[in-house]
Amino acid sequence: METALTKEYRHICRDPANHQPLAYLRLRQAIRNVVQQRDIEPGHALPSERDLSHALKLSRVTVRKAIAGLVEEGLLTQRHGAGTFIAERIVKPMSRLTSFTEDLRERGLRPRSEFFERVIGEVTPEESMAMNLSPGSLVVRLHRLRYGQDEPLAIERSVVPANVLPDPMLVRDSLYEALEQLGCRPRRALQRLRAVSLNAQQARLLHVAVGSAGLNIERRSFLDDGRVVEFTTSWYRGDIYDFVAELHTD
């Protein structure tokens, strides 16, 4: 692993397309890359700060700063007295507005979706209230099962105004990538999380036992002008996902 990481870091440093002058950011990207390429598997340890510093000819402060950023992102975990490891569970930071697809790609997992529904219809009263839409407005509805590699991870129902997303078939995997291509990527969001027991249908889709612990997440995302661009309700497997938030005093 150390050889693969050393090779990747040096490749990034030599790459003329990489304009990042800060060493800790180059190292952070190198670690992401070797995880994505599966050169190191979830649960395996990174080399120590001292070993990385020696191998890459970087200061320990630089190495520590690179690792700290990836711990905050959830890609790495640290165990007191044991070292730094590739996260086995998917740790989703609450401070960053990212898509399911982006989260999995950062962890070296291949995201894909199985669509049950991709349609345009008239907004329901609940959707109208959540998205500040007038009765009779048209919306795109996406209902799908989200996978990492071949493992089902979440059930997702998304609603987007049709005047933002005119064709549901534009969403091949990542909703946010489709919205970004339309110049309408969300800039902020409000989320509500609840612990739930997965019912029979949800458990069957997610390959877990009926009554297993799950996370129900409701997200409303906004454009810069305040318009609601996404209303998504998701059910995540509780045995795989952790959602973390960094808290500060006033």
Give pLDDT tens digits for 67-96: 988 887 767 878 777 888 887 667 777 778
pLDDT at residue 46 above 70? yes
The answer to whether 37 and 108 have CB atoms below 8 angstroms apart is: yes
- pLDDT of 246 > 80? The answer is no
> What pLDDT shows up at residue 250?
66
Distance CA 156, CA 168 (A): 15
Q: ∠ at Cα 93 (91, 95), nearest 5°? A: 180
Mean pLDDT of the chain: 88
**Whether pTM exceeds 0.75:** no
Listed residue (61, 58, 62, 64) closest to 46, CA to CA: 64
Q: Categorize the per-residue pLDDT at 208 as very low, low, confident or very high, splitting at 50, 70 and 90.
A: confident
On whether the CB atoms of residues 120 and 162 are closer than 8 A, the answer is yes
Q: Mean of the pLDDT values across residues 94-102? A: 84
CB atoms near residue 159 (< 10 Å): 25
Which pLDDT value is given to residue 117? 96
The answer to whether the CB of 34 falls within 8 A of the CB of 40 is yes
User: Looking at per-residue confidence, does 189 or 39 come out higher?
Assistant: 189
Question: What is the percent of the chain where pLDDT is above 90?
Answer: 52
Cα-flanking dihedrals φ and ψ of residue 73, to 5°?
A: -75, -20
Cβ burial, residue 93 (10 Å; 0-12/13-18/19+) = middle
